C-alpha cells in the first residue's frame, strides 16, 4: 500500500509518499480500504512536533472506507460494511487498521466524503456546544474561524439550539459562507487594527455592552486576549485549538479580572471516552447529515500523494470547510463534491 510518512518533526516538507507493507488486523480490529482521509490541525501539530510523537510515523487519524477484513473477536462489523473513524493512527494510507471500538457505521444516505467531513469536526462541534459550554436558547456566542470545518458545523448546531452566533473570518468570501451557516454578525478580523482592542469593542457593541456567553476559540495565540475581553460576566472561554500558535501560560487572576469567567481547554477524546458516548454523539451528527439538517462543506480535495500541499493550505488558512485526501485506489470511484 501507499501511505504518507512524517520522517521527522518539521514543516510540510517532512511528509513523504511511501510504499509500505499491507497491514493485517489484530484481535478487535478492522482492516479498511480507505476511500478518503480527513486532514485536521491535530495532524499538523503531530507532524511539527507540537505534540510528542515517534518518527517516522504514518500521519493522520480520521477517514472512511469499506471493511475488507476483520480481526478475531469482532462481532459488530463484517466485510463490506461502510465505516468512518476519528481515531486510527496512520489514516493517510490506502489501507488502515481501525480498532472496532473506534469505528462507526456510515448510513447509506451519507457519502464517505461527508462522513469524514463530520467525523472529527462534527463530533468536536457537537461536544463544544453541548458539553464544553451547553448553548441555551437566546445565548449570544462568538465563534472564531467561522468558515472553517468546525466553524461552519458549530454555527449550524448553535443556531439549531436557539443560540445567536457572532463569527470571525479572514475574507469577504468566508464571511458569506459563515452567514450561510447561520451567523447573524460576521467580523473580518484581518481588517481590524488592534485585534485585542477592536474585536471586543465590536462584540460588546453587538450585545448591548454585555459581552457573549461563550467564545469558541480554535485560533489561539492571536485571538486569546480578544476572546477573553469579549466575554460577559461568568461566561466561558472554550479554547480548543491553536492554528495561530499555542497560548502562553495564563495567570488565573486574568479570569477574575475578566468577570469571574471560566477557561477550558477540552479535547474530543475526553468527550468520547466511552463507546456509548461516541456512538451517541455520532448517531446524532450523522443522522442530521442524512436528514439534511446539517450541511457539510468539503472545501478542498487532494490526492494522497499531495498531503504536504494539503497541510500548507490548511495552515495557511487558504481553505474553507473540510480538507480531504483521496488515496489513488479510491480516486476513480470518489463522488464529486461541491466546493
Q: What's the CA gap between 243 and 10, in Å, rounded?
A: 16
pLDDT, tens digit only, all 339 positions of the chain: 999 999 999 999 999 999 999 999 999 999 999 999 999 888 999 999 999 999 999 999 999 999 999 999 999 999 999 999 999 999 999 999 999 999 999 999 999 999 999 998 899 999 999 999 999 999 999 999 999 889 999 999 999 999 999 999 999 999 999 999 999 999 999 889 999 999 999 999 999 999 999 999 999 999 999 999 999 999 999 999 988 889 999 999 999 999 999 999 999 999 999 999 999 999 999 999 999 999 999 989 999 999 999 999 998 877 777 899 999 766 543 333 333
230 in Cβ contact with 199 (< 8 Å): yes
Strands 322-326 and 298-303: parallel
Burial 101-116 (b: 16+ CB within 10 A, else e): ebbbbbeeebbbbbbb
The domain ranges of the chain are 2-119+273-331, 137-265
- CATH 3.90.180.10 correct for 2-119+273-331: yes
Cα within 13 Å of Cα(205), Cβ side = 8
pTM of structure: 0.84
pLDDT of residue 339: 32
Homologous superfamily of the 137-265 domain (CATH) = NAD(P)-binding Rossmann-like Domain (3.40.50.720)
Number of H helices, E strands in the chain: 10, 16
DSSP 3-state assignment of 158? helix
pLDDT of residue 211: 98
Amino acid at each position: 500500500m501507499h501511505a504518507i510518512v512524517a520522517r521527522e518533526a518539521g514543516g510540510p516538507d517532512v511528509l513523504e509518499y511511501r510504499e509500505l507493507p499491507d497491514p493485517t488486523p489484530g484481535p478487535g480490529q478492522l482492516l479498511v480500504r480507505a476511500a478518503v482521509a480527513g486532514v485536521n490541525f491535530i495532524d499538523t501539530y503531530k507532524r511539527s512536533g507540537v505534540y510528542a510523537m515517534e518518527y517516522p510515523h504514518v500521519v493522520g487519524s480520521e477517514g472512511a472506507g469499506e471493511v475488507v477484513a476483520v480481526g478475531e473477536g469482532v462481532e459488530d462489523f463484517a466485510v463490506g460494511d461502510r465505516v468512518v473513524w476519528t481515531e486510527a493512527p496512520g489514516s493517510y494510507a490506502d489501507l488502515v487498521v481501525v480498532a472496532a471500538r473506534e469505528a462507526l457505521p456510515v448510513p447509506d444516505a451519507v457519502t464517505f466524503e461527508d462522513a469524514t467531513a463530520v467525523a472529527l469536526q462534527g463530533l468536536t462541534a457537537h461536544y463544544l456546544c453541548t458539553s464544553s459550554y451547553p448553548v441555551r436558547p437566546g445565548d449570544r456566542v462568538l465563534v472564531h474561524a467561522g468558515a472553517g470545518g468546525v466553524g461552519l458545523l458549530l454555527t449550524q448546531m448553535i443556531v439549531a439550539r436557539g443560540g445567536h452566533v457572532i463569527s470571525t473570518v479572514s475574507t469577504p468570501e468566508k464571511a458569506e459562507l459563515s452567514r450561510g451557516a447561520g451567523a447573524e454578525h460576521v467580523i473580518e478580523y484581518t481588517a481590524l487594527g488592534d485585534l485585542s482592542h477592536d474585536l471586543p469593542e465590536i462584540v460588546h457593541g453587538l450585545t448591548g455592552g454585555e459581552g457573549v456567553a461563550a467564545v469558541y476559540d480554535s485560533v489561539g495565540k492571536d485571538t486569546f486576549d480578544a476572546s477573553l475581553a469579549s466575554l460577559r460576566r461568568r461566561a466561558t472561554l472554550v479554547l480548543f485549538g491553536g492554528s495561530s500558535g499555542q497560548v502562553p501560560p495564563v495567570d488565573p487572576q486574568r479570569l477574575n479580572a475578566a468577570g469571574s469567567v471560566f477557561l477550558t481547554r477540552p479535547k474530543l477524546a475526553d468527550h468520547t471516552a466511552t463507546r456509548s458516548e461516541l456512538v451517541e454523539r455520532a448517531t446524532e451528527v450523522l443522522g442530521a447529515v442524512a436528514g439534511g439538517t446539517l450541511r457539510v462543506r468539503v472545501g478542498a480535495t487532494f490526492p494522497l500523494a499531495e498531503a504536504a500541499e494539503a497541510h500548507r493550505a490548511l495552515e495557511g488558512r487558504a481553505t474553507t470547510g473540510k480538507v480531504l485526501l483521496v488515496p489513488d485506489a479510491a480516486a476513480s470511484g470518489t463522488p464529486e463534491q461541491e466546493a
